[in-house]
Copies of this chain bind each other. A is one copy, B any other.
Amino acid sequence: MEKTLAEIAHIVNGKIIGSGNITITGVTNIALAGEHDITFAVEPHLQEAENCNAGAVLLPNTITDFAKTAICVEEPRAAFTKLLEVFNPPLTIRRGISEQAFVGQDVKLGENVSIMPFAVVDDHAIIGNNVILYPHTYIGQHVKIGDESLLYSNVTIREFCQIGKRVIIHSSTVIGADGFGYITKDGKHSKVPQVGNVRIEDDVEIGAHVGIDRATTGSTIIGQGTKIDNLVHIGHNCEIGANNLIVAQTGIAGSTIVGRNVTFGGQTGCVGHIHIGDNTVLAARSGPISDIPANVFYAGFPARPHQEWLRNQVASKRLPEMMKTIRDLEKRLKKLEQDKC
């Protein structure tokens, strides 16, 4: 791919500083960009960008003076994303059903699907239009997958689960394994049948090695537009709202209900059977152990308001010094008491 800077300015609806005749062949980050690449910069990286080797830089509209060829746009990051798409067309994916795939009985396949070698679509499954199933995906009995969804290699969707439209699921993720439910009697654990399913709504993206367990009865739900990072665990009967961001290695125990636009920082651990309100942010490694209201920023374990956590961190650092002070106060007080006698 090759475009002039003028052509690029047109694509991102931006204003050029310098010459529009430069030829651009790649889109990459500041550190790697060479004379035929375009990159982007916002504060505090503007100076770095001014000194980098890129042919051109996408900048915020607010910049008027820059010691390098640039394109000023309303949102440099969004413009950069657009150019990544333009300069990196998606892989060529063969359409059709591989002769080495397995398709069971009473399966409904949409138009233009790609079912790659060694993918398995089990009996009674329904696969929407333009769905792509990479090698070694397993689609269980009675599963439904919506149009345009993309499942990478080794993904498992267990029986009766439902996947929405435009869902992306990365390799080795497991949707609908049995929830962790037992009845214990005399020290022995008997399995509670997990007869519910998982329902993934439209436009969800799920990373690699994520486990979302099927409900005991009813459905475990992942709301529309929610994005889940790698190695996340979501227990049975959780209901996760729309447009959440769930960062890597987070665990959410069973039956927890989460609102819309909630962010879970990495390695968060959340107990079961609680509610978390809309728009709340949980810092990395936080550990909610009871209901969390909407619109708050919580941190720590047990999770508490971030400001409170910060004050505690500051105080905690001074603990050894406090111990010394207390011992000193004791001595001085004892002396005063003795002097009085």
Q: Across the interface, do A231 and B218 meet the contact criterion of CB distance under 8 Å?
A: no
* Smallest Cβ-Cβ distance to A173: which chain B residue: B172
- How long is the Cα–Cα vector from A337 to B318 in the complex, in angstroms? 25
Q: Across the interface, do B211 and A230 meet the contact criterion of CB distance under 8 Å?
A: yes
Given contacts A261-B187, A285-B287, A329-B333, contact A180 B227 (CB under 8 A): yes
Q: Is A190 an interface residue (CB 8 A)?
A: yes
- How long is the Cα–Cα vector from A316 to B316 in the complex, in angstroms? 8
Q: Across the interface, do A217 and B84 meet the contact criterion of CB distance under 8 Å?
A: yes
Q: Across the interface, do B120 and A138 meet the contact criterion of CB distance under 8 Å?
A: no
Given contacts A102-B117, A182-B227, contact A243 B136 (CB under 8 A): no
- How long is the Cα–Cα vector from A269 to B229 in the complex, in angstroms? 14
Task: Output the least CB separation between A48 and chain B (Å).
Answer: 13
A320 partner residues in chain B, CB cutoff 8 A: 311-312, 314-315
Q: Across the interface, do A193 and B81 meet the contact criterion of CB distance under 8 Å?
A: yes
A188-228 contact mask (Cβ, 8 Å, vs B): 1 or 0: 11111101000000000101110101001110000001010
Q: Across the interface, do B152 and A153 meet the contact criterion of CB distance under 8 Å?
A: no
Given contacts A88-B195, A193-B88, A269-B249, contact A217 B174 (CB under 8 A): no
Q: Across the interface, do B301 and A218 meet the contact criterion of CB distance under 8 Å?
A: no
Q: Is A9 an interface residue (CB 8 A)?
A: no
Instruction: Choose the segment among A28-36, A55-63, A65-73, A290-298 that binds chain B (4+ C-beta atoms closer than 8 Å).
Output: A28-36
Q: Across the interface, do B233 and A230 meet the contact criterion of CB distance under 8 Å?
A: yes
Q: Would you list 16 pairs from A and B whose C-beta atoms are within 8 A, ordered by A residue?
A: A29-B218, A88-B195, A138-B153, A156-B171, A156-B208, A158-B171, A170-B178, A180-B247, A182-B227, A189-B243, A209-B231, A249-B251, A267-B267, A312-B320, A314-B320, A325-B326
The 5 closest A-B pairs by CB, nearest first: A138-B153, A315-B319, A28-B217, A211-B230, A156-B171
Please name 20 further chain A to chain B contacts, defined as beta carbons within 8 Å, in addition to the given A189-B243, A316-B316, A333-B333, sorted by A numbering.
Answer: A27-B195, A27-B217, A78-B183, A91-B159, A120-B135, A153-B156, A170-B177, A174-B209, A177-B208, A178-B205, A180-B207, A180-B248, A182-B245, A187-B243, A213-B230, A248-B251, A269-B285, A315-B322, A315-B323, A318-B323
